[in-house]
């Protein structure tokens, strides 16, 4: 494995780093990704499971799917990529980890400052009164949770066609605009507005690095493409950082 002398120099000298992660970062933990041959969207329909219309049509179906995914996410552990990112955080004065993942694995690995652009599977909220819940359990009998006000409760995740959470998106744009070094890791970089972030960083002068198993739509714009598993490349990047910053 090798990184360029330019990236090594950046790792040594920069103060402001921003990272965007996607499903590929959790793949080595056993959480399925969305696209590609084995991706969730090759077997399931996003318009049924990840849209407001789909939820209103069949909330029971959507809740069953989120419950199933929650069980998977509870049964897995963070992998070397998550731990490497948590370690990286301690080396830089401004380090922003922006994730499209809803699985909590960055936080479980010890990352402190995580901006969740697509929500979090542990949370849900009432569509009537806005009350938040972190303890919703779906069962056969109670397959569609209701709030005490009678309102329908939905997962606190972003579905297709919905806006990103305002604070998180604003902070992510701010971090991407200000950073000197940006990593796009394990994302196909096709879902906007998250996929703007690497472009925003580059437009503002950041050195743009992509880590992915394969080329993506972003690859043609990056300064450096590191092809391979995030769980192998990121620990190597951390070793490089330790050598130049300790
Ligand atoms: P995708 O499934 O679109 O892309 C996952 C990416 O990770 C692909 O480019 C893979 O090549 C790469 N990958 C897989 N395993 C990897 C590994 N071990 N190391 C490095 N890279 C690896 O997932 P996202 O880009 O996260 O949104 O998808 C973005 C959004 O689309 C998701 O947040 C979700 C989905 O629909 C919503 O549900 C709103």
Question: What are the tens digits of pLDDT across the range 115-174?
Answer: 999 999 999 999 999 999 998 888 877 789 999 999 999 999 999 999 999 999 999 999
CA of residue 63 to ligand 1 center, whole Å? 22
Q: What was the pLDDT predicted at 142?
A: 75
- Alpha carbon distance 215, 227 (integer Å): 8
Domain boundaries, the chain: 1-31+77-118+163-246, 39-75+121-157
Q: Is the pTM of this model over 0.95?
A: yes
Mean pLDDT of 189-214: 98
Q: What angle do CA 93, 114, 175 make, to 5 degrees?
A: 55
Q: Which of 102, 118, 161, 191 to mutate to test the pocket of ligand 1 (most atoms within 8 A of CB)?
A: 191
Superfamily of domain 39-75+121-157, CATH level 4? SIR2/SIRT2 'Small Domain' (3.30.1600.10)
Cβ contact 73:120 at 8 Å: no
Distances from the Cα of 127 to the Cα of 48, 101, 151, 153, angstroms: 18, 22, 6, 6
For residue range 9-34, what is the model confidence (pLDDT) as tens digits? Answer: 999 999 999 999 999 999 999 999 99
Cross-strand pairs, 20: 98, 184
Same fold, 1-31+77-118+163-246 and 39-75+121-157: no
58: preceding bond cis by omega (within 30 degrees): no
Residue given tokens 């993942």 in the structure block: 101
> What confidence category does residue 49 fall into, taking pLDDT thresholds of 50, 70 and 90?
very high
**pLDDT mean across residues, the chain:** 96
**Top-level CATH class of 1-31+77-118+163-246?**
alpha beta
Residue pair 143/153 in contact (Cβ under 8 Å)? The answer is no
């Amino acid at each position: 494995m090798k990184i360029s002398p330019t990236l090594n120099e950046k790792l040594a000298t920069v103060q402001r780093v921003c990272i965007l992660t996607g499903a590929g970062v959790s793949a080595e933990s056993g959480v399925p990704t969305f696209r590609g041959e084995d991706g969730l969207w090759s077997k399931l329909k996003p318009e049924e499971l990840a849209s407001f219309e789909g939820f209103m049509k069949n909330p029971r179906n959507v809740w069953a799917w989120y419950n199933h995914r929650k069980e998977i996410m509870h049964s897995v552990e963070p992998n070397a990529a998550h731990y490497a990112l948590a370690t990286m955080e301690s080396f830089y004065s401004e380090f922003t980890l922006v994730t499209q993942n809803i699985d909590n694995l960055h936080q479980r690995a010890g990352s402190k400052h995580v901006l969740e652009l697509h929500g979090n599977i542990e949370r849900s909220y009432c569509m009537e009164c806005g009350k938040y819940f972190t303890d919703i359990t779906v069962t056969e009998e109670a397959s569609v949770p209701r709030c005490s006000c009678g309102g329908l409760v939905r997962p606190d995740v972003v579905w297709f066609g919905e806006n990103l959470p305002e604070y998180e998106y604003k902070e992510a744009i701010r971090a991407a605009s200000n950073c000197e070094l940006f990593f796009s890791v394990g994302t196909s970089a096709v879902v906007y507005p998250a996929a703007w972030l690497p472009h925003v960083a580059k437009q503002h002068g950041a050195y743009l690095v992509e880590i992915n198993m394969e080329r993506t739509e972003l690859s043609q714009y990056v300064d450096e493409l590191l092809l391979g598993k995030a769980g192998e490349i990121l620990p190597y990047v951390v070793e490089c950082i330790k050598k130049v910053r300790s």
